[in-house]
Amino acid sequence: MNKIIKLATVLLGSSVLLSGCIKETFPEGGYVTTEQAADSPFAMDGLVSSMPTILITNYVGIGEHFDFGYPGIFGATDRLAGEIFPVSGNLPGGNQYYDRWQPYLYPGNSTGLAATGIGAEFFYLNYYQFIYTANEVIDLAETGGKEQIVGVAKAFRALCYLDLARLYDPLPAKAPLKPEYATELEAVKGLTVPIVRGGETMDELENNPRVPREEMFTFILEDLNAAETLMANYTPPTKSLPSLAVVYGLKARTYLWLGGFDESYANVPTGNAAYKLAAEYARKAIDASGCSIMTEAQWLDPKTGFNTVNASWMWAMIQTSDTVLNNLLSFTAHMSPEAIYGYGYGAQPGISVFSYNRISTGDFRKKNFIGPDRSYAAIQPYTSLTEEEFTPIAAFASFKFHTNGGEKNNYSTANVTSIPLMRVEEMYLIEAEATAHYDQASGKAMLQTFMANRAPNYTVPAANDLIDEIIFQKRIEFWGEGIVLYDLKRLNMSMRNGDNGTNAPTMAQLTTDGRAPWWNCVIPLTAVQQNKALLGKNNPNPTFTYKSVK
């Protein structure tokens, strides 16, 4: 009976994808057993689709319009990193708070990232709901002998735990306005998050401690190794599901993170040994994917640019009309300035002026951003906005993400877009950076080769630190895609949005000395209250550790 309930839970969780005609005949009793599910193509398809579906439809109930699952996390991490902020306030009548993430992510002026804040709940609850679904699929698929589905579910689970480990690992950070922060951080050094494998009793879940970094990454690599074996001959029917190349890509991300540590572990590599594996698996991902680097035409297409799966996307979140929750609970409604019906048009998510100015002349990615002269003629080929509709758009706003087909008013059409989860370009840049840590000449050559696809006249600047330059190109390449926070945190890089000449809104004008304290996420109080092993083991409150410039 327990397995029947689990199956119903997972299938109902993906009901928005399964609401069409059902051609299977189910038992008269009104439920299906695990054994019957194993023989039912419909039920097994439902198990698989439940995982990509929950990524884009999960709603944790925090009462904010960025509560739309994994794409909402993308938006949050890029804002925590200072890579995205609303630029609309730089024109008369503009309102930065059309960007709904911002009121909860300003650590100098908000408590949203504290244990009692909705920012803390948003991250933690989403990931563990994703993990719950993956665990249930693993259990049911193992019972049914569906090894490939087990592999797919373990790849999903590894994605979630890798993000959690990187978000919650309390790495050293300076907190000039809170001297006790360093001492509080030391008390939880090296701890990640609790592991929930599935099958735990309630007593075990209520006393489930944060595991050390080595234990967490041993677990993540066990999942990825299993997925690599089980998916060796698996071809996903859609890019909403991971392939073997994606498993290699997840391994590349995992080893890249481990490369940032000097500690020696018995079961997982660190330092250059990990960086070498990151480069190796990035290359495996490139070769196995069959993907090609996006062209200028694909990147800048005003109707399909970054809303439609193309040949560079290895893994994607694919919306359908059934998975569009409403007009506002949508990545597109927030990130596209062509979404006149949503927040994107009012908030105008944009890039730092410092980053914009650093983009090479001739780099076509610069065309996505409104220049300081706010020229409509320059952006016209790449947008569906009319000149009149363009009037309130501020300098440095981004037109990277487009509504479906350029639709500006009908959200039920406009929000039916796809969002990349992994692009092959990430693998090229992981390979270049990881290699540069132990072989600068080769890493530099790899970056030069990659950048020929973005700016034909580009040469690696001699005056720049090579790692910093690779990460900068990664910041531009994956602006808005929820990728770069983990690199900035791993490499102890600073935020500079409080420097003179910034275009950031006042509360986002933050300059840090190295990694920001708010990159060490805090477990929400609700989770601490339910799990006694977390009492006294939370990351310290990162709010009011810095103050915005104004």
CA gap 226, 246 in Å, rounded: 13
Distance of CA 101 to the CA centre of its chain: 15
Torsion of CA 480, 482, 485, 491, to 10 degrees: -100
| pLDDT value of position 92 | 86
- Nearest residue to 231 (alpha-carbon basis) of 141, 366, 296: 141
Residues of the chain with pLDDT under 50: 1, 4-5, 7-9, 11-33, 37
Which has the closest alpha carbon to 518: 178, 129, 160, 61?
Answer: 178
Q: Is 316 helix (H, G, I), strand (E, B) or coil?
A: strand
Please, what is the Cα angle at 51 between 112 and 418, to 5 degrees?
A: 75
> In what helix (H) or strand (E) does residue 118 lie, and over which residues does it extend?
helix 118-143
Nearest CA-CA partner of 334 in 12, 3, 97 = 97
Q: What is the DSSP letter of 191?
A: B
Separation CA 177–CA 308 (nearest Å): 45
Both tokens assigned to 165: 């480990």
Asked if 474 and 488 count as a contact pair (C-beta separation under 8 A), the reply is no
How far apart (Å, rounded) are the C-alpha atoms in residues 491 and 486?
9
Asked if 8 and 14 touch (Cβ cutoff 8 Å), the reply is no
pTM: 0.94
Please count the CA atoms within 13 angstroms of the CA of 507 that sit on its side-chain side. 22
Instruction: Report pLDDT for 267.
Output: 96
- pLDDT tens digit sequence for 357-373: 999 999 999 999 999 99
Class of domain 2-298+421-534: mainly alpha
pLDDT at 144: 87
Q: Count Cα neighbours of 457 within 13 Å in the Cβ-side half-sphere.
A: 6
Of 176, 164, 272, the closest CA to residue 219 belongs to 164
| CA atoms in the 13 A half-sphere facing the CB of 75 | 31
Q: Domain residues of the chain, as ranges?
A: 2-298+421-534
Q: Check the CA dihedral 303-308-313-316 and report its sign.
A: positive
Cα(512)–Cα(360) distance, rounded to whole angstroms? 25
Tens digits of per-residue pLDDT, 325-336? 899 999 999 999
pLDDT value, residue 38: 53
88 touches 394 (CB < 8 A): yes
Element (H, E) at 199: none
CA 408, chain centre distance (Å): 26
